[in-house]
Amino acid sequence: MKNKILHIALAEPSVIVRNGLIKTISEMIPAVKWQYAGSVSELHRMLSMSPIDLVLVSPMLAVNQEKAVQQLRAEFVAVRFIAILTQLYEPALLSLFDASLQLTDEPAAIQNLVIKNTGDEKSDDTSTQQPLTDRELDVLKLLVTGISNKEIADKLFISVNTVITHRKNIVQKTGIKSVSGLTIYAVVKGIIQLE
């Protein structure tokens, strides 16, 4: 991240929370260009018009907007979305995000989360992304259904260790670690169909 300007979209209605996050993150990463969005539709416009490396967003903006957020995530697969937790939210709502931070997190933890989700290795991977093998595609199709490694191994007649290896390869090639993120990836790439 040296000599690189980090573009962060911040969608948080609270001025106090916004200013606190900007101060905390800017202390460790001074080269940040901040953009603000007040709604999911505004966030979509922002992502369409300018390069964004990371989105920090209040899940409150996603309440009753789950489909819009899913479409946004499907359209901008390379962008990481981090939920800003100021209260308790339903797990289903939080599954829309790659990670989350809480107001009680230490500044170092928040800074590390931002760095982890905007690493240079991520942008390198997307430009030279290797295609998934046929077997990795088989594992991915079963993985997004929510079944365990053991069940995948049984269905494909391979060992659990082989399934784990395929999963590591999928994560390495796509740059996506969460099952929800891989599901969005599979839908966008036409690997699976939504029912």
Q: What is the tens place of the pLDDT at every residue in 130-169?
A: 789 999 999 999 998 989 999 999 999 999 989 998 998 8
Reading the block at residue 187, the tokens are: 């839908």
Domain assignments of the chain as residue spans, ordered by start? 6-126, 129-188
User: What CATH architecture does domain 6-126 belong to?
Assistant: 3-Layer(aba) Sandwich (3.40)
pLDDT in tens, 14-63: 999 999 888 888 887 778 889 999 899 999 999 888 888 899 999 998 88
Residue with tokens 């036409």: 190
Contacts of 148 (CB under 8 A, 6+ apart): none
Phi, psi of 80 (to 5 degrees): -90, 140
Q: Of 75, 81, 89, 77, which is closest to residue 56 (Cα–Cα)?
A: 81
pTM listed for this prediction? 0.59
In the three-class reduction of DSSP (H, G, I as helix; E, B as strand; rest coil), residue 13 is classed as coil
Q: Report the SS3 class of residue 87.
A: coil
- By CB atoms closer than 10 A (0-12, 13-18, 19+), residue 50 is exposed
Q: Which two tokens stand for residue 185?
A: 């990836």
Inform me whether the pLDDT recorded for 123 exceeds 50.
no
pLDDT given for residue 35 in this prediction: 92
Q: In the chain, helix, strand, coil percent, each to 5?
A: 55, 15, 35
Specify the CATH architecture of the domain 129-188.
Answer: Orthogonal Bundle (1.10)
Instruction: Tell me which residue of 152, 148, 146, 149 sits closest to 179, measured CA to CA.
Output: 146
